[in-house]
Amino acid sequence: MADSSARTDTNRAAILAHIGAHGATSRADLARALRLSPALITKLARDLLTDGLLTELEHSPSRGGRPAQLLGLTAGSFGAIGVKVAPDHLTLVEVGLGGAVTRTATEQFDAGHTMALARLTDTVSAFCSSSTHANLLGVGVGLPGNVLEQSAGVVDSTQLGWSQLPLGLALRKATGLPVLIDNNVNALALAESLFGTGRGHENFLVVTIGTGIGAGIVAGGAVVRGHSGNAGEIGHLPMAENGPRCQCGALGCLEAMIGQSALIETARHEGVIGADAGITALAAVAGGGNEAAQRIFAEAGHLLGRAIAGVVNTLDPELIVILGEGAESWKHWSVGFEPALRSSVIPRKRGIDVAVEGWQDDRWAQGAASLVLSTPFDADGASGEQGRRVRARLIDAAAGDPS
């Protein structure tokens, strides 16, 4: 009986999350999308309508038969908080169940400070207390590092200088909400799958360029996390045996050769930008026609293209999505990237689509919120106990008693 009740709760949550992610839909389309019987969908939808979580909208256009009644979410019912953690700032967003950002904030932050954990928990707690939604489902956190279990939220991050930091426990105590934490690129891949360019694609690759180089892998509709939650670390592909030393300690990693710091160092060494100038200056002179600056980006694009070609040949995605702060200079990267990618993948994959999205900090935080919003689709149980708590809040919210 308990198992049956749990399945019912999961299916109810999946209906709500699917409509949140994809918009109003018919019972028949829900049955197909969630692979549930039409009779079960009809029963569950009736219960959700009675509970006030769904509302019936206009009929969809007829294709010759009886027009289908559309189901939509009751407006303003549910929200989630997303937090992007960077070494020097926090970006926080509040989103609805459909992923739309309703509120955002950016706060200065020093990840290396002795009081960093207290500062982070205080900031998140204050942001949650100002929620505009009747029911907050939970908090999602995306950060540059390794998180073995989303639900436990114990963090290791060389970029942030954190080792075995119990961030999940601290945030749960501070907010009283379920908390899910993952690598920021994995979280971004979730957002792309639910709300972005990747929606409707079962197999795609999210590649981020900027301070670091990373990838999120979506295969069979699910984000691939790997044994230790570290899948997608393409920035540490070994590209040159005697190359520059990477922050991970190895020599010649892709990130050490084409990450933001590497591009700046090369540009300063060649006199393309001043000794105190950074990536913004390099992008500006490249945009102004400086051939040396354009060559630096093109060579970086060439190495990235060859690296991604190897990933494409291995994983066979149908789409590549390029994101990150470095994407703002993509026209200079692409000069090297496109020929390197197309010439290095096996012939039948040379037509793979590449989509480039503009960089926005709140997009990363929306990805963190997607850790919460995606839990009803978590067939593999990656979200653990905290995911169960999110689903319970989603179901219990109609009774005014979120658990």
The answer on pLDDT for 138 being more than 50 is: yes
Q: What is the per-residue pLDDT for 134?
A: 76
Q: Decide: 324 and 359 in contact? Cβ < 8 Å.
A: yes
Q: What is the per-residue pLDDT for 380?
A: 66
Domains of the chain, CATH where assigned: 2-73 (1.10.10.10), 78-189+362-399 (3.30.420.40), 199-356 (3.30.420.40)
Residues 182, 172: Cα–Cα separation, whole Å: 15
- pLDDT, one tens digit per residue, over 3-31 is 555 566 667 767 877 787 777 889 999 99
Would you place residue 297 in the very low, low, confident or very high pLDDT band (cuts 50, 70, 90)? Answer: very high
- For the ranges 69-83, 274-288, 354-368, the maximum mean pLDDT occurs at 274-288
The predicted model gives 246-271 an average pLDDT of 95
Q: What is the per-residue pLDDT for 10?
A: 64
Would you place residue 384 in the very low, low, confident or very high pLDDT band (cuts 50, 70, 90)? Answer: confident
Higher pLDDT, 72 or 286: 286
Would you place residue 373 in the very low, low, confident or very high pLDDT band (cuts 50, 70, 90)? Answer: confident
Name residue, tokens 């093109």: 298
- pLDDT, one tens digit per residue, over 71-121 is 887 755 788 999 999 999 999 999 987 778 899 999 999 999 999 999 999
Q: Decide: 78 and 360 in contact? Cβ < 8 Å.
A: no
Q: What is the per-residue pLDDT for 402?
A: 45
The predicted model gives 254-276 an average pLDDT of 96
Residues above pLDDT 90, as percent of the chain: 58
Q: What is the per-residue pLDDT for 400?
A: 47
Q: What is the per-residue pLDDT for 399?
A: 46
Q: What is the per-residue pLDDT for 395?
A: 67
What is the DSSP track for 111-142? Answer: TTSTTHHHHHHHHHHHHHHT--SSEEEEEEEE
Higher pLDDT, 98 or 299: 299
The answer on pLDDT for 147 being more than 60 is: yes
The answer on pLDDT for 331 being more than 60 is: yes
Q: What is the per-residue pLDDT for 67?
A: 66
The answer on pLDDT for 64 being more than 60 is: no
Q: What is the per-residue pLDDT for 8?
A: 64
Q: What is the per-residue pLDDT for 54?
A: 84
Higher pLDDT, 403 or 97: 97
The predicted model gives 165-179 an average pLDDT of 96
Q: What is the pLDDT of the chain when averaged over all its residues?
A: 88
> Of 126-140, 146-160, 199-213, 365-379, which range is least confident?
365-379
Q: What is the per-residue pLDDT for 388?
A: 86
Let me know the angle formed at the C-alpha of 54 by 48 and 58, rounded to the nearest 5 degrees.
130
Q: Can you list the alpha helix ranges (DSSP code H) found in 23-70?
A: 27-34, 38-51
Q: Decide: 370 and 331 in contact? Cβ < 8 Å.
A: no
Residues 234, 8: Cα–Cα separation, whole Å: 39
Q: What is the per-residue pLDDT for 255?
A: 95
Positive or negative, the CA dihedral 388, 217, 148, 114 is negative
Residues 372, 223: Cα–Cα separation, whole Å: 14
